[in-house]
Structure 1
Amino acid sequence: MRNLKQIMLFVMVGSLLTFNSCSSSDDGGDGGSAPGGTLVAKVNGTAYQSLEISSRATVANNGNNLIIIATNSDGNAFMMSVFGYEGAGKTYEFDGASLGVFNTASYSETDVNLSNPTASTTEIWQAPFADAVAGSVSISEETDTNIKGTFSFECKNVNGDGSVKTISEGSFNLKKTTE
């Protein structure tokens, strides 16, 4: 239930914030070191690994959009949206400098209150959050069933305490669905 709420929250936030993309050619990186079916990263230097069961990449809108959602058992999650997706071998920036051109990324932490689930809280750190490049995601490999890549970004808790988190050494090796 908690993962479903997080996924829906990320999809809604991503849909509201993004409609176009910014991409730049590149070799797509080396693919990183994420185990099959997962996303790994460091959040302010602390290791994060998603669960295979709650991690997925979706290529939608006739292949023009890429949405990555990955959660772990602690209630922490990543979401990245690339609009204007062109496949492997590209790097897509999370750039707030261009009006109307947004690829987005976010990291969230959910504190589940088991005695009163409606009192659970979720904090979301978003990128981009200023008129600058906050990071990027590089797609190194894509098959009919899998997608691999690397990412890093800085994100800000814009609706909370204003804190900034640094996401580094990110990579994913996810099952892919096409819609």
Structure 2
Amino acid sequence: MKTIKQFGFALAIIFSLTLSSCGGSDDNGGGGGFNGPATGTFIKAKVGGSNFISEGEFAVGNYTSGAMVLTGSSTSGKNIGIQLYSTTGSLAVGTYNMNATQDSDIAVGSITYTDVNTSTFTVTPYNSLNCENTNGTLEITFMDATKIEGTFSFVGKEVKEDETCNGGTKTVTNGSFRLVL
């Protein structure tokens, strides 16, 4: 399981680093918790009170055999990554626990907010799963053969390079997403 977490975490960082060098504006309205764009894959949220949005080519993901992975980056070096893996082989509409106390749940998931300093390329990840005293919830509100939509929120702790969790925290609220299949 640790390998899956590390792979997803690395994937989120790679997407964030790759897309943070692109130009453009990410000021597309407000934060999350409300309807997003009419079409396409997106992730929206409020991170520490600031708006985050990723859509179009900056938001990508996949769903297969009960595994959903979605990541979205902004042009300012911010990234939100969502991973949800069913232990029964499929996901359904419902609420999923996204923290370290999910041992008996039917799914294992995490949400990661990554902040990349685009001047120094210093990466600071905040995760809902790897540290004690974190919490997160993801609700799939709609799911069919063409898309998955839902909401999320979490309090993530900074995961240091040595995998300790003695850094700061980030609160992500009003999150919403759509993954077009």
> Please, what TM-score do these two structures have when normalized by structure 2?
0.69
Instruction: Output the CA distance in 1 between the equivalents of 2:143 and 2:95.
Output: 13
Partner of 2:99: 95
Are the aligned partners of 1:57 and 1:67 in contact in 2 as well (CA < 8 Å)?
A: yes
Q: CA 1:167–1:154 in 2, change beyond 3 Å: closer, same or farther?
A: same
The aligned residue for residue 126 of structure 2 is 125
Between the two proteins, the alignment pairs up a number of residues equal to 146
Q: How far does residue 174 in structure 1 lie from its aligned partner after superposition? A: 2.8
Are the structure 2 counterparts of residues 112 and 157 from structure 1 closer, same or farther at C-alpha, using a change threshold of 3 Å?
A: same
Q: Which stretch shows the higher mean deviation, 136-145 or 99-108? A: 99-108
CA distance in 2, matches of 1:105, 1:122: 16
Counterpart-to-counterpart distance in 2, 1:32 and 1:64: 26
Aligned position for 2:141: 140
Quick one: higher RCO (CA 8 Å, sep 6+), 1 or 2? 1
SS class of match (1:159): coil
CA separation of 1:10/1:149 partners in 2, compared to 1, >3 Å: closer, same or farther? same
Aligned structure 1 segments of 4 or more residues deviating by more than 6 angstroms: none
Q: Normalising to structure 1: TM-score of the pair? A: 0.70
Which stretch of the first structure deviates more once superposed, 78-87 or 65-74? 78-87
Residue matched to 2:70: 68
> Could you tell me which amino acid in structure 2 is paired with residue 106 of structure 1?
T
**Identity over aligned pairs, percent:** 21
Structure 1 unmatched runs, 5+: 1-6, 14-30, 114-118
Letter in 2 for 1:72: S
User: In the TM superposition, what whole-angstrom CA distance separates every residue of 1:77-117 from its partner, at most 9, and x where no partner exists?
Assistant: 1111111163341111113124597411100011223xxxx
Can you give the 5+ residue segments of structure 2 that lack an aligned partner in the other structure? 1-7, 15-32
